[in-house]
Amino acid sequence: MRKALYRGPFPYTRMRRLRSSSFIRHLVAETEIGTRDLILPLFVVEGFNQCQPIESMPGVNRLSIDRILEEVVEVESLGISAIALFPMIERSKKTPMAEESHNENGLIQTAIRKLKANTPNVLIIADVALDPYTSHGHDGILDKRSGNVLNDATNEILVKQALSLAHAGADIIAPSDMMDGRVRIIREKFEKEGLVNTKIMAYAAKYASAYYGPFRDAIGSTPSLEKIDKNSYQMDYRNLKEALYECSLDLSEGADMLLIKPGMPYLDVLKSVVDEFAVPTFAFQVSGEYAMHCAACDNNWLSREQIILESLTSFKRAGAAGILTYFAKDAAHLLLKSI
């Protein structure tokens, strides 16, 4: 029996004693969350002075690079030390082979260079996946006959994309495509190119989930995905042991960090991964989770301030090293206000 259970019976033990005031509750709290635990996802769009609201994600906008630069200055002032970038690519640049994904002067590559010049102390996480760049909306290259995603052919493009992002100055490369073997190929290429300090945060357990809907709207892949799904490469939401296997493979191939996606519906997966592997493991509170919370708060069914901090603390309690969340700025304001 665990030592925590060896306590005297009532009235010698009164559990409410340690809940009697906010001061004592803070003193004995097992989990704390701070601004350094928060990572803000940002959507980048072409153009100048662009701020395009995303209807399915209230309060979240697609921003042109000049507006992104302003946003990240504010983000840094709030104590948030990391951002994750995702592109909204013009439809004319989307192709079956996703050539734009590894354009050295592409949207995200340009954004990274300018951000590093403007806010060098903010860590940049760059997504590695082809779905924003393919005309069909899949995360990989399609076989013309079967329509299946070709694993090895996709990896050839992914490594080019990863290299272009690393050379642009990304601190962390985050492959989210779920192709087999892509971490090893990227890591080997980084070693050959001398990119030994570029970190890989592998989306090791990324489930085929209905919670991604608003995100696909944000990056403009929704129309392409009306009649197809990603179940052949993203994980089955019924499986936990498979997630551990995926994580072990990515670590053996050179991943430095792991990421679990979606977030709250998969806290059991997060906790299991944290317990199994001694590596930093992150969680993504995805667009669908954000949209659900916003809808409930907008209808006064939930308290916005309380639900933001409670939901984010649940990730830390499960062992997350950090959380990608669209609530990052809101949470930072709340945390700074409570000091």
What pLDDT, in 10s, does the model give residues 140-150? 999 988 889 99
Q: What share of the chain is helix, strand, coil (3-state, %, to 5)?
A: 45, 20, 35
Segments of 178-302 assigned E as strands: 199-206, 257-261, 281-285
How far is the C-alpha of 33 from the C-alpha of 67, rounded, in Å?
28
pLDDT (tens digit per residue) in 144-173: 888 899 999 999 999 999 999 999 999 999
50 falls within a domain: yes
Question: Distance of CA 295 to CAs 54, 158, 264, 283, 299, Å?
Answer: 14, 36, 17, 22, 6
- Give yes or no: 189 in active site: no
Q: What is the pLDDT of residue 228?
A: 63
pLDDT band at 229 (very low <50, low <70, confident <90, very high): confident
- Give yes or no: 261 in active site: yes
Tokens linked to 277: 């592997």
Question: Distance of CA 317 to CAs 42, 73, 122, 302, 320, Å?
Answer: 25, 29, 25, 21, 7
Tokens linked to 175: 């492959």
How far is the C-alpha of 119 from the C-alpha of 115, rounded, in Å?
6
Better-predicted residue by pLDDT, 190 or 218: 190
Side chain identity at residue 181, one-letter code: G
* Residue found under tokens 């592998």: 202
How far is the C-alpha of 247 from the C-alpha of 178, rounded, in Å?
11
Which domain covers residue 322, as residue numbers?
Answer: 33-337
Q: Find, among 75, 83, 98, the residue nearest to 44 by Cα.
A: 83
Q: What is the largest CA-CA distance in the chain?
A: 73
218 falls within a domain: yes
pLDDT band at 334 (very low <50, low <70, confident <90, very high): very high
How many CA atoms within 13 Å lie on the side-chain side of 187?
A: 16
DSSP at 9: P
Whole-number average pLDDT of the chain: 94
How far is the C-alpha of 24 from the C-alpha of 14, rounded, in Å?
14
Side chain identity at residue 90, one-letter code: E
Question: Distance of CA 108 to CAs 68, 87, 152, 206, 265, Å?
Answer: 11, 6, 24, 22, 30
CATH code for the domain of 261: 3.20.20.70
Phi, psi for 71 (deg, rounded to 5): -60, -40
Average pLDDT over residues 108-133: 98
Burial of residue 212, with CB atoms counted within 10 A of its CB: 0-12 exposed, 13-18 middle, 19 or more buried: buried
pLDDT (tens digit per residue) in 251-278: 999 999 999 999 999 999 999 999 999 9
Q: Among residues 230, 261, 316, 329, which one is catalytic? A: 261
Percent of the chain's residues with pLDDT above 70 = 96
Instruction: Report whether pLDDT(223) > 90.
Output: no
Q: Among residues 93, 94, 199, 206, which one is catalytic? A: 206
Q: What angle do CA 134, 86, 229 make, to 5 degrees?
A: 45
Instruction: Report whether pLDDT(11) > 60.
Output: yes
8 falls within a domain: no
Instruction: Report whether pLDDT(305) > 90.
Output: yes
Side chain identity at residue 186, one-letter code: I
- The kind and range of the H/E element at 172 are strand 172-175
Give the pTM.
0.94
Domain count within the chain: 1
Provide CB contacts within 8 A for 179, sequence distance 6+: 139, 140, 149, 151, 154, 155, 158, 233
Q: What is the pLDDT of residue 1?
A: 45
How far is the C-alpha of 200 from the C-alpha of 243, rounded, in Å?
18
Q: What is the pLDDT of residue 6?
A: 66
Q: Beta partners for 285? A: 325
Instruction: Report whether pLDDT(111) > 50.
Output: yes
291 falls within a domain: yes
